Amino acid sequence: MTMIEQEPASVPVRWRRRWLGLAGLGTTVAAALAIGVPVLLGQGATPANAVIREPDGSIKIYIRDYRHPEVIERQLRNLGVQANVIFLPTGKQCKEPRGTYLPDNRALLTTEPPAEGEDAYWRLHPEQIKPGQTFVYTMWYEEHGDNRMASARFWVATGPVAPCEVVPGRP
């Protein structure tokens, strides 16, 4: 009976190559998760749209994603602020009037230079919004590649605020 000799080195070499390939793939996946998850979840930076209550009672509003105004609106409501938030492309506006707006709201929403390493934000002073009133915030935006431009108007409305009926127009 003749024995067929096998090349013992060939099987382990094949398995070693596969093992190294799998180990390399695992390292790549681990690196992608280590970098990608914090970026997607916004760890290490302010999330795309965030509302944060400050110790003095004011609220910082960060907006970098002009697609989801409902996120800002929901977060404001969770902090006790009745809000109506709309994002519109430049060249569009809501058909007005949508409500009864109070005059002179300049101190309601302020901006200030962000601290070193901090993203730009608006600061809302919710103590100026009384029960039965709504913070109405409309933002217009333009995107050209990596460049973004935005402008906003804000009001305090007494009573109900109608939904935004989008019509042509400039802010």
Q: Are residues 38 and 78 in the same domain?
A: no
- The answer to whether 81 and 129 have CB atoms below 8 angstroms apart is yes
The model's pTM: 0.69
Task: Give a yes or no: residue 146 inside a domain.
Answer: yes
Which has the higher per-residue pLDDT, 140 or 1? 140
Q: Are residues 109 and 144 in the same domain?
A: yes
Give the Å distances, CA to CA, from 96 to 159, 164, 165. 15, 8, 8
Q: Are residues 15 and 89 in the same domain?
A: no
Q: Are residues 73 and 36 in the same domain?
A: no
Q: Are residues 111 and 154 in the same domain?
A: yes
Task: Give a yes or no: residue 23 inside a domain.
Answer: yes
pLDDT one-digit tens code per residue, 35-81: 333 333 334 456 788 999 999 999 999 988 888 899 999 999 999 99
DSSP 77-124: HHTT--EEEEEEETTEEE-S-SSEEPS--TTTEEE-PPPTTPPP-EEE
Give the Å distances, CA to CA, from 14 to 18, 23, 48, 51. 6, 14, 47, 55
Task: Give a yes or no: residue 2 inside a domain.
Answer: no
User: Cis peptide before 97, with omega less than 30 degrees from 0?
Assistant: yes
Task: Give a yes or no: residue 149 inside a domain.
Answer: yes
Task: Give a yes or no: residue 105 inside a domain.
Answer: yes
Task: Give a yes or no: residue 82 inside a domain.
Answer: yes
Q: Are residues 98 and 164 in the same domain?
A: yes
DSSP 8-48: TTHHHHHHHHHHHHHHHHHHHHHHHHHHHHHHHHTTTS--S
Task: Give a yes or no: residue 99 inside a domain.
Answer: yes
Q: Are residues 15 and 66 in the same domain?
A: no
Q: Are residues 91 and 104 in the same domain?
A: yes
Which residues form the domain of 109? 49-168
Sequence-distant (≥ 6) Cβ neighbours of residue 66 within 8 angstroms: 87, 139, 141, 143, 148, 150
Q: Are residues 14 and 62 in the same domain?
A: no
Number of domains in the chain: 2
Q: Are residues 38 and 58 in the same domain?
A: no
Q: Are residues 40 and 62 in the same domain?
A: no
* Position 169 pLDDT exceeds 60: yes
pLDDT confidence band for 107 (50 / 70 / 90) = confident
List the one residue out of 64, 148, 134 whose CA is nearest residue 105: 134
Give the Å distances, CA to CA, from 28 to 25, 32, 36, 110. 5, 6, 12, 45
* Mean pLDDT, the chain, integer: 77
Q: Are residues 97 and 139 in the same domain?
A: yes
